[in-house]
Amino acid sequence: MTRFEVSDAAAERERLIGEGIERGPLEHVPDAMDYFDFPDPDGNKLSFYSEV
C-alpha cells in the first residue's frame, strides 16, 4: 500500500465519490490521522491521509 498525505482526507474522499471512484470508508485514528483506502486502475492499494 502507498499512502499520500493530503490536507483534508474527508474532502478528498468526497471528491473521489464525485468522480465515481471506488473507495473505502473514512477511518479515524484518535490524535493521529484520518484516512481511507482505494484501488488504482491496476488494482494496487492506495490511501489518502491527513494528520489531525
Predicted TM-score (pTM) of the model is 0.91
30, three cell numbers: 484518535
Look at the alpha carbons of 11, 18, 28, 51 in this order and tell me if their dihedral is positive or negative: negative
Q: Let me know: does 3 contact 29? Beta carbons within 8 Å.
A: no
- pLDDT of 11 reads 98
Strands 27-29 and 45-51 turn out to be unpaired
pLDDT 10s digits, 1-33: 999 999 999 999 999 999 999 999 999 999 999
| Whole-angstrom distance, CA of residue 48 vs CA of residue 27 | 11
